Structure 1
Amino acid sequence: MANLKRTPLFDLYQDSNAKTIDFGGWDLPVHFSSIKDEHEAVRTKAGLFDVSHMGEFEVEGKDSLAFLQKLLTNDLSKLDDGQAIYTAMCYENGGTVDDLLVYKKTDEKYLVVVNASNIEKDWEWMIQYKPESVSMKNVSDEIALLAIQGPKAEGILQKQTDSTLADIRPFRFKENVVVAGVEALVSRTGYTGEDGFELYIKSEDAAAVWKELLEAGKNEGLIPAGLGARDTLRFEAKLALYGQELTKDISPLEAGIGFAVKVNKEDEFVGQAALKKQKEEGLTRKLVGIEMLDKGIPRAGYEVFVENQSIGFVTTGTQSPTLKKNVGLALLDRTYTELGTKVEVQVRKKRIAAEVVSTPFYKRPRP
């Protein structure tokens, strides 16, 4: 696979028998053992992901908050130092530029984490709104990102640091935490529906930390996990994926992440008027869960019908490793989104019966 980008951990993939694929121009592991085994490990024990392909921008300066508020749908004014927030960035028409995380370090210093396939697009979009009083730096190549996820994640990671991880609450982070002998920004975030942490470290430190964590967790069931399990895990938890649930043609409200859209926030943001109108007039389509009633898997892009009328399409679908059922997320005409509504999915040349079901497909058990 010529000219594909590689993360700092690429040379270690082979040690764990990784099968790599072209993922948005990156040579990344789809799995190390199998998607089902890795999925199960994260749900019951722990998995370690290399997500160093994600993009990171440093935003600094006295008008950093005003700049980010102008671009982002969520309200950053309420953030404390050491807090992270999930948000979207939209076009004027309400379509989605990207979904992202923002980490507030101080009033004048933020870390913005964007999707790998959108790094250049997001940079160009943000730079056109940037005032002179704000500096932006793309540090994506300097930072590696490791995610340790699952019910045993905290215990395993705690072995490698003297900082008390229990003090880091969900969507909070600590800087300058020494993990496996190197400094890291440690946040209690993830993309699996499980408890866990994400570690932002210098690229040159990534390989050593990866090895130390796998060693520390080997008796607890920690295994390396690839993009395949990351996708099935996030899908079961109904976490949106850019390019599928969110696109330039799908708004954050339609994609079901309305909690990250504050249409009435005082600081006006790009796309606010369009999203406010969508909310006030009512959405014409909605993201719902569907379960196949007959054999067949609802794949992304498959059309959905009711009585020969096309009513939408599947955004993500698979056989759920946890439920052992063929399920999908579909963006459908609102008329047909009531629970129990019978629909048909066009699977190749055949239409297969399905019904609208509740989501998320999986919720983490409360401790």
Structure 2
Amino acid sequence: MNTQVSSATVSPTSTPLADVHAALGASFTDFAGWQMPLRYASDLAEHKAVRERAGVFDLSHMGEIRVTGPEAGAALDAALVGRASTMPIGRAAYGMLVDHEGGIVDDLVTYRLGEQEFLVVANAANVEPVVVAIADRCRPFDVHVADETARWALVAVQGPASVAILGPLVDVDLDALGYYRSASATLRDVPVLLARTGYTGEDGFEVFAPVEHAVTVWDALLSAAREHGGVPAGLACRDTLRLEAGMPLYGHELTRETSPFAAGLGRVVKLDKDPGPVGLEALRRLAEVAPARVLVGLKGSGRRAPRAGYAVVSDGNPVGEVTSGALSPTLGYPVAMAYVDAALSAPGTALAVDVRGSELPVEVVALPFYRRER
């Protein structure tokens, strides 16, 4: 069968909520070609609100690719490293798309919406290569691949008050909607896809809404969040939240030069698929050889934080590189993720980070740095 491929209009540089963010006093930054709210008032205040109450995020820069048809599950088995064909309806799965050498093209979340319908959510910077790759790999199957990025707004509510905030607004029993599950819902008369997923280390939900209803959904969620002490939250605090939770960011911890095994994500790779996706043979070879460098957490002291690109050293010799780092608002000390020589990756190992010629002592620790109480 020949795969049918369609695309929505080219994604804009501003999300459908840009005017709302401006009215809220947001500072903007260019992220993957999108003008995104970096912060509204204070990075630290927004971070703290998410950890203690709730934050509302605009994630409409993310890409949505819909795959439908009689062979949709088998097609995604051939495109991605996971096994979409065995996912129950209503479940979501974290996974990846890799290249012929096993390098990571993007990390993705796939939602099974129906027997013959899936939604793949890609990082904003990688929407085009992901759409091209999925369409190409699905070509032998009876499926339709559609880039629907421009059709959807995505608003997230993250934090311990998320259920209390969202519950009265939707016609879904949130207590019955488990982690990494999704359901169709209605929010203020708007049909939405509601998913219990997120990127902060807290409980929370992501709400996919038709772009023409973006403001209605945002206003409803933010108004309800404020009743529980919640705030609008920008990309700056989202980065420190995901770092504390040990969640990788594409372009930092994940690239085409890194494999899922070096990143500690081999669990999402299904090596026994036959036929398998592009890159499966390379992944099988990589799985048999211990990576030279692996991703670890680093804990510092004081107030100076390692930053991406800084060298990790041992006895003055370079042994790795920091991929993300910040002073943790929750923990009160510097944290970082880094790729280091596998022989030096055990928790408790004493290393240092070269910060402009000065060596900042750090200790290897297990990820994540922060784990919410359940």
Alignment TM class, shorter chain as reference: over 0.9
Query: Segments of 4+ in structure 1 off by > 6 A?
Result: none
* Residue 159 (structure 2) aligns with: 150
Tell me the distance in 2 between the aligned counterparts of 1:90 and 1:274.
10
* Residue 279 (structure 2) aligns with: 271
Q: Map residues 37-116 of structure 1 onto 2, 5 A cutoff.
A: 37-116=45-124
**Number of residue pairs the alignment of both structures matches:** 363
Secondary structure of the residue aligned to 2:373 is coil
Residue of 194, 212, 226 corresponding to 1:218: 226
Match status 1:171 vs 2:180: yes
> What are the superposed Cα offsets for residues 220-242 of structure 1, whole Å, 9 maximum, x if unpaired?
01110001111111111111111
Stretch deviating more after TM superposition (40-49 or 64-73): 64-73
Tell me the distance in 2 between the aligned counterparts of 1:320 and 1:267.
44
Shift in Å, 1:262: 1.9
Preserved contact between residue 293 and residue 355 of structure 1 (Cα < 8 Å)? no
* Residue 361 (structure 2) aligns with: 353
Q: Map residues 130-141 of structure 1 onto 2, 5 A cutoff.
A: 130-131=138-139, 133-141=142-150
Structure 2 unaligned blocks of 5 or more: 1-10
Give the partner amino acid of 1:155.
A
Give the partner amino acid of 2:108.
L
Tell me the distance in 1 between the aligned counterparts of 2:12 and 2:300.
36
Shift in Å, 1:181: 2.2
Shift in Å, 1:217: 2.2
Shift in Å, 1:65: 1.4
Tell me the distance in 2 between the aligned counterparts of 1:25 and 1:274.
32
Residue of 221, 240, 255 corresponding to 2:263: 255
Shift in Å, 1:264: 2.6
Give the partner amino acid of 2:195.
S
TM-score by length of 2: 0.94
Stretch deviating more after TM superposition (42-51 or 256-265): 256-265
Tell me the distance in 2 between the aligned counterparts of 1:267 and 1:280.
20
Tell me the distance in 1 between the aligned counterparts of 2:315 and 2:337.
20
Tell me the distance in 1 between the aligned counterparts of 2:85 and 2:255.
26
Q: Using the aligned pairs only, state the percent identity.
A: 40
Give the partner amino acid of 1:40.
K
Q: Map residues 325-336 of structure 1 onto 2, 5 A cutoff.
A: 325-336=333-344
Match status 1:120 vs 2:164: no
Match status 1:159 vs 2:162: no
Give the partner amino acid of 2:309.
G
Preserved contact between residue 294 and residue 354 of structure 1 (Cα < 8 Å)? no
Match status 1:204 vs 2:212: yes
* Residue 7 (structure 2) aligns with: none
Residue of 26, 30, 34 corresponding to 1:22: 30
Preserved contact between residue 294 and residue 353 of structure 1 (Cα < 8 Å)? no
